[in-house]
Structure 1
Amino acid sequence: MGFAFFMGLVFALLQHFLYAFLHHRREEDEDKKFRWVLYGRALAYLSKVAFGGCVVLVFRQRIWSTFRSRALTVLSIDQIFGATEDPSLFANWETLSNAPVIVTLALVIWLIPMATIIFSPGALTFGTFLDQESIRLNVPTLDFSVESRKDWRNPVPFTNGSTKRSLMYYNTTDIQGTQPGWFDYYDQPSAELRRIALLLAYSNMNHPNIKQNARQDACGGSYNCTYEQSFVGPGYQCEKIASGANDTAKLEELGAPFNTSILVPQGRNVYYAEVSLGAYARPQAADFRRGPGGIPNGEPPKDLGVFKSEPVLWIGYSVNSTEWLPQDDPLAANWTHRYDQHIIRCVHMETKYTVKWNFVEPFFHSMTKREYLKPVVDTNFTRGADGMMDYNADPEPAENFISPRDDVELYKKTAAYHAIGDMFGDFLRGHVDLEPPKPGPHYAQVYSDITKTRLVQKNSEPKANLTEEIESFYSDMVLSLFSAPEMLAVSTAQATVDRSRLQSSFVYVPERLWQCYAPVVFVTLLILLFGAFTIWQDGTTFSVGFSRILVTTRNTTLDDISRGACLGNDPFPMELMHTKLKFGVLADGSDPEYMHNDGFNGGGGYQGVGHCAFGVASEVGPITKGIPYAGLKRRKNRTQTG
């Protein structure tokens, strides 16, 4: 009994360990999947056999105690012996009322398969689960310092056999790069950068462009994921300088090239931008050699290719407040609503980007924080003799100029920043005029590419939050470099990626398994202890094999009442089936086998130990624990001495 209980526990634990091994395990082969399920069911069956075997052994032990204490009909005795195969026992009132313990044990035997074989395999299913993890992965990032070390004469190989592409084109003083004092200098944005900028502008989306399989590259496979990364790149820091017709103080202080008078409703422009003041000149020299390369004739000028300043973006715009003008307002002659005028100033800055990417198939979201570090070129224009800002003179201080002859790496990084800013300025420059509603018709006249971008509304008028929109649009242009992994600035860096995916696999719920096994283990353990107590109480063990039935039915009374029914046929005589029998010591001691003395010949010895068998209640007595009832060994000894 103990061994059977122990093996039941072993098989239950093996089933648990098998299911834990299969938990979240992907298996595409249907045959293997089927075999794994069969292995689990086989262990459940073996567990049922073990636990059931333990209870059956206790059941067999207990029925003899019941037969000793209760007189039961042959029908009930028949049903008790066959209780593990025939459930009719549960419909017999005699067994229910006179042998409740036996009936309970039989019920447990019938219920164990339900818990072990039927329900426990349900703890392992095959379905979809959310696989989540945090992992360190190489994710795409931007590293503009790579541009600092790039020499266009030595192409950088790319994975597909092509070469990496730069953000800008260079001119040079020596194509071979061998002459003393030679240097390369900035020419213009590259064709690849133009393509990236145009695709972003024309997409009209409120997010950067990314490549088609960006999610798989960033997440390390077909996952959804989020991660945060930081890098340094160019950014525009915009500030609102003036709001309204009379807000001119800061405009004058900073030397703005225009004021709000050019903006509607006083002027014609609903949008006006000056983005080229102090811009890098093209061409850089007056005289070049014939052919490619931008090689100047004679000695290169001292300021050839020098970045003396970065253009400040001056942008004025008017926004329809949707508030009706009073009839007595002078502007009401031509305008129906009040327009609010604004002028903003944007400075090109080296910026630390902190970007949180969120890829959720088939979408993505990027949230960008910008920390402005320093101007790309930290110089300012000075005022002339007339007190106006002189944009034709060199800015100051001259020591902040960035020359291709000095710090080449700083120059090339600045050139990369300038190339992106130059492309951005192309979309902003120009103006948009607006015809007043009266006398009409009311329409916008477009002289700027800003209307090709998301910075304007559908009526070609600028958005009300243009300051934030410009900063965000430029950030997205920088992030759109990720859409072209062939660009030099696109690199990789390690980041902690929180990723997840819905995965089809085995799913194991341990609670379900142990909800099935816990009551079985608990009840079987109680029955095991009860069985051990029954063995101690009986003083011996019992079984229900044929040999046991043979020796316990050796009673002449049984021979008499069963005459004519020796075939064991069905239907069995009903008179015999309703005869009540009990197991005990036969009161009749006439059998010579049990007549002589056994034990001591004096007081306290056993005289004529009786024969134990089934019989009618009136002819059997109780079996006493400790008395050595007749057995084969005793019988053999008596035969030898008789």
Structure 2
Amino acid sequence: MTERLIAHRATQSTQWHIHWRIPALIGFAFFMGVVFALLQHFLYIYLHHRHIEDEDKKFRWVLYGRALAYLAKVAFGGCVVIIFRQRIWRTFRNRALSVLSIDQIFGATEDPSLFANWEAVSSAPIVVIIALVIWLIPLATIIFSPGALTFGNYLEAETLQLTLPTINFTMETIKDWRNPVKLPDGSNKRSVMFYNTTDIDGVKPGWFDYYDQPSAELRRIAILLAYSNMDHPNIAQGARQDNCGGPYNCTYEQTFLGPGYQCAEVARGTGDAGKLTEYGAPFNMSSLVPEGRYVFLGDVDRGTYAQPQAGEFRKGPGGVPVGDPDPSLGVFKSEPVLWIGYAVNSTEWLAPDDPLAKNWTHRYDPAIIRCVHMETKYTVKWDYVEPLFHSTTKREYLTPVVDTNFTRRDNGEPNETDPQPESNWISPRDDVPLYKKTAAYHAIGEMFRDFLRGHVDLEPPIPGPYYAQVYSDVTKTRLVGKNSEPLANLTDEIEEFYSDMVLSLFSAPEMLAIDTEKLTVNRSRIQSSFVYVPERLWQCYAPVIFVTLVIMLFGAFTIWEDGTTFSVGFSRILVTTRNTTLDDISRGACLGNDPFPMELMHTRLKFGVLNEGNDVEYMGGDGYQSVGHCAFGVASEVGPIRRGVPYAGLPDSGLKRRAKTETATEKDNFD
């Protein structure tokens, strides 16, 4: 079989052509490197800001990313390695290198000692640079690129539509206490007021319901707000998570109609009459400190809804009148105007010659304010930030709850019996929805007025003792400060306190006035998750892709210039080292063991055409003589390889030596 193979190969010569396999491998490896880098990028995009609770799942996702980084390294590295193998043969043809350098170049992808060999660096810089790239690719792909994906906290923000609670007094206007509105848990919705009626069954001709008093639920809401002493409304427990749709911080704005008190200062300072006479004020500055004894005075019941109502009623609950009801039964003729007088310590010492210095050490500034009950358009911005919340309220005062005024008697005193115009009276017999809305507003206002009614007396410090005597629930609220004295900005505080009482209805979702609406919510939360920074990934891959592309183009040019492709397999080494000179200088080193002889390691070899003679084996079709063969040898015995020359392989001397050896073997066998 060997002889037949020898006979067949005896007429063969080298084939100068570029086989498709090596260029295809180079292009495919580069393409797959880019694909794996993109897959890693898309995987990290998928994981970016994704919250994963399962630690094992987190670990698996990280491994997937590292696996893609490793595959990218294999692809890019494989592309460069193939080109490196092509280039080293060009180097061996152009430069005579020591066996040590040739050794290190062949093993450059596994042994970095090449970079410490000055001969290799100076004589084969391109090969050394390509080898260095092979070593650096894993650093960029495997080590640094996974660092683009980390764990951390980020602010997750979004804008969406959510169904949120709002205040809508429409339900109060249409609700019949005989037919309760059910909640999902089976309990009943609660009104802000209790009703009396002319017919409990609601079947008699001309029957109607009329206002009685604030409901127990409204009293609880108002008292909790007042006693909390906070500068914000009360809200339902868990409101942040319910309103924000989960454990988020969120902000949103809503608008609704409700009752509000519009206050204005009508007089300030000792002796100032202001507009007191014009408005028919029930008191003047002489009642307030320092001229009078009151540091706070609240007159809040003038023209209020009569309790009890006119007429005769049956015994028992319900307020059912005996006989025909009084024409004024249940009618809202007016809403009380709040008259609030107060004095504030200016902290300024009185001059010794001031008449007030006889009893007072500091100057007190008295003021009188007037507040009208108005239907109000509320615009509220809610800002929920764990664990707190903040609300900003804008009020647009629309119309008085009951738009009537007191006439004057002949002596100038207000006539509180028949406010005018009578056409603005609100009766339960006429517009029932309007009456019920007015009654709801009145109930909330009545609870508010309960805290402002009465007075706080202040004993002067001289001769002392200096203390306040309290005859009002205002001291249970946030409207007063030290020593039970009112706050300096009481006008604004009263408006805001009443607004907060209205908003505190949100703390009781069971109230009829609490409805729902769809609103745009801006919400956010600090989320612990994967964080992907694309710049970091591409800072790793961009240089690799660019350098690999440059090397690939350089390798393609080298292959085209060489006219063939190369490999570093054992078979290629076998056929390129068949040289009698190498046989002679390598005697005693045939085991392939270490240490290798140093004099041989420093022998300089070059790859080229052996100059062993000019015996012609055959004439090629292209006119070239097929002579010698290409192999490693000392620089003096090799010539340059010319592209297109059909080199046959081993020279005749090799064939003759083989024939001689075979003859000797046959003779020995014969003997």
Conservation of the 8 A alpha-carbon contact between 1:163 and 1:486: yes
Supply the RMSD in Å over aligned alpha carbons. 1.2
Matched, 1:72 2:97: yes
1:452 corresponds to: 476
Distance, in Å, in 2 between the alignment partners of 1:565 and 1:446 is 116
Q: Cα distance 1:360–1:249, how it changes in 2: closer, same or farther (>3 A)?
A: closer
Distance, in Å, in 2 between the alignment partners of 1:270 and 1:358 is 36
Aligned residue runs from structure 1 range 338-377, under 5 A: 338-377=363-402
Matched, 1:615 2:640: no
Q: Letter of the aligned partner of 1:95 in structure 2?
A: A
Residue number among 565, 570, 586 corresponding to 2:610 in the alignment: 586
1:416 corresponds to: 440
Q: Letter of the aligned partner of 2:393 in structure 1?
A: T
1:326 corresponds to: 351
Conservation of the 8 A alpha-carbon contact between 2:29 and 2:78: yes
1:397 corresponds to: 421
Q: Letter of the aligned partner of 1:470 in structure 2?
A: I
2:524 corresponds to: 500
| CA deviation profile, 1:128-149 (whole Å, cap 9, x unmatched) | 1110011111122111111111
Q: Cα distance, 1:605 vs. partner?
A: 2.3
Q: Cα distance, 1:247 vs. partner?
A: 2.0
Greater shift in the superposed pair: 499-508 or 48-57 = 499-508
Matched, 1:380 2:398: no
2:22 corresponds to: none
Conservation of the 8 A alpha-carbon contact between 1:140 and 1:482: yes
Q: Cα distance, 1:631 vs. partner?
A: 6.2
Matched, 1:156 2:181: yes
- 1:382 aligns to what SS in structure 2? strand
1:311 corresponds to: 336
Conservation of the 8 A alpha-carbon contact between 2:629 and 2:649: no
1:597 corresponds to: 618
Q: Letter of the aligned partner of 1:216 in structure 2?
A: Q
Conservation of the 8 A alpha-carbon contact between 2:626 and 2:648: no
Q: Cα distance, 1:29 vs. partner?
A: 1.5
- TM-score normalised according to structure 1 size: 0.96
Matched, 1:568 2:592: yes
1:202 corresponds to: 227
| CA deviation profile, 1:310-347 (whole Å, cap 9, x unmatched) | 00000101111111111111111111111111000000
Distance, in Å, in 2 between the alignment partners of 1:409 and 1:286 is 24
Residue number among 416, 421, 431 corresponding to 2:455 in the alignment: 431
| CA deviation profile, 1:237-268 (whole Å, cap 9, x unmatched) | 00000112332141001111111110011111
Conservation of the 8 A alpha-carbon contact between 2:620 and 2:646: no
1:258 corresponds to: 283
Distance, in Å, in 1 between the alignment partners of 2:617 and 2:273 is 137
Q: Letter of the aligned partner of 2:413 in structure 1?
A: M
Distance, in Å, in 1 between the alignment partners of 2:408 and 2:560 is 114
Q: Cα distance, 1:608 vs. partner?
A: 3.7
Aligned residue runs from structure 1 range 215-294, under 5 A: 215-294=240-319
Q: Letter of the aligned partner of 1:596 in structure 2?
A: E
Q: Which runs of 4+ in 1 moved over 3 A?
A: none
Distance, in Å, in 2 between the alignment partners of 1:60 and 1:330 is 111
Conservation of the 8 A alpha-carbon contact between 1:90 and 1:96: yes
Matched, 1:520 2:541: no
Residue number among 637, 648, 666 corresponding to 1:630 in the alignment: 648
Distance, in Å, in 1 between the alignment partners of 2:212 and 2:274 is 38
1:113 corresponds to: 138
Residue number among 552, 557, 560 corresponding to 2:576 in the alignment: 552
1:640 corresponds to: none
Q: Cα distance 1:3–1:313, how it changes in 2: closer, same or farther (>3 A)?
A: same
| CA deviation profile, 1:502-522 (whole Å, cap 9, x unmatched) | 111111111111111000000
Aligned residue runs from structure 1 range 31-70, under 5 A: 31-70=56-95
- 1:589 aligns to what SS in structure 2? coil
Distance, in Å, in 2 between the alignment partners of 1:290 and 1:176 is 16
Q: Cα distance, 1:387 vs. partner?
A: 1.5
Distance, in Å, in 2 between the alignment partners of 1:68 and 1:484 is 92
Q: Cα distance, 1:595 vs. partner?
A: 2.7
Number of residue pairs the alignment of both structures matches: 625
Greater shift in the superposed pair: 289-298 or 279-288 = 279-288
Conservation of the 8 A alpha-carbon contact between 1:244 and 1:341: yes
Identity of aligned residues (%): 77
Q: Letter of the aligned partner of 2:384 in structure 1?
A: F
Conservation of the 8 A alpha-carbon contact between 1:597 and 1:606: no
Aligned residue runs from structure 1 range 135-146, under 5 A: 135-146=160-171
| CA deviation profile, 1:89-117 (whole Å, cap 9, x unmatched) | 11111111111111111110000001101
Residue number among 215, 220, 224 corresponding to 1:190 in the alignment: 215
- 1:390 aligns to what SS in structure 2? strand
In structure 1, the gaps of 5 or more residues are 633-642
Conservation of the 8 A alpha-carbon contact between 2:311 and 2:325: no
Q: Letter of the aligned partner of 2:516 in structure 1?
A: T
Distance, in Å, in 2 between the alignment partners of 1:398 and 1:598 is 133
Residue number among 179, 182, 188 corresponding to 2:204 in the alignment: 179
Q: Cα distance, 1:484 vs. partner?
A: 0.7
Q: Cα distance, 1:291 vs. partner?
A: 1.4
Q: Cα distance, 1:359 vs. partner?
A: 0.7
Aligned residue runs from structure 1 range 3-14, under 5 A: 3-14=28-39
Q: Letter of the aligned partner of 1:414 in structure 2?
A: T
2:485 corresponds to: 461
Q: Letter of the aligned partner of 2:628 in structure 1?
A: G
Conservation of the 8 A alpha-carbon contact between 1:598 and 1:609: no
Conservation of the 8 A alpha-carbon contact between 1:427 and 1:450: yes
- TM-score normalised according to structure 2 size: 0.92
Distance, in Å, in 2 between the alignment partners of 1:207 and 1:196 is 13
Matched, 1:102 2:127: yes
Conservation of the 8 A alpha-carbon contact between 1:200 and 1:209: yes
Q: Letter of the aligned partner of 2:242 in structure 1?
A: D
- 1:242 aligns to what SS in structure 2? strand
1:91 corresponds to: 116
Distance, in Å, in 1 between the alignment partners of 2:245 and 2:176 is 32
| CA deviation profile, 1:403-459 (whole Å, cap 9, x unmatched) | 111111111111110000000000000000000110000000000000000000121
| CA deviation profile, 1:69-108 (whole Å, cap 9, x unmatched) | 1111111101100000011111111111111111111110
Q: Cα distance, 1:549 vs. partner?
A: 0.4
- 2:260 aligns to what SS in structure 1? strand
Conservation of the 8 A alpha-carbon contact between 1:55 and 1:109: yes
1:491 corresponds to: 515
Q: Letter of the aligned partner of 2:465 in structure 1?
A: P
1:639 corresponds to: none
Distance, in Å, in 1 between the alignment partners of 2:317 and 2:243 is 40
Q: Cα distance, 1:474 vs. partner?
A: 0.3
Conservation of the 8 A alpha-carbon contact between 2:311 and 2:326: no
1:636 corresponds to: none
Distance, in Å, in 2 between the alignment partners of 1:229 and 1:30 is 41
Conservation of the 8 A alpha-carbon contact between 1:583 and 1:613: yes
Residue number among 505, 508, 512 corresponding to 1:481 in the alignment: 505
Distance, in Å, in 1 between the alignment partners of 2:613 and 2:29 is 41
Q: Letter of the aligned partner of 1:171 in structure 2?
A: N
Distance, in Å, in 1 between the alignment partners of 2:399 and 2:439 is 16
Distance, in Å, in 1 between the alignment partners of 2:72 and 2:199 is 86
Q: Cα distance, 1:160 vs. partner?
A: 2.7
Conservation of the 8 A alpha-carbon contact between 2:29 and 2:75: yes
Residue number among 54, 65, 80 corresponding to 1:29 in the alignment: 54
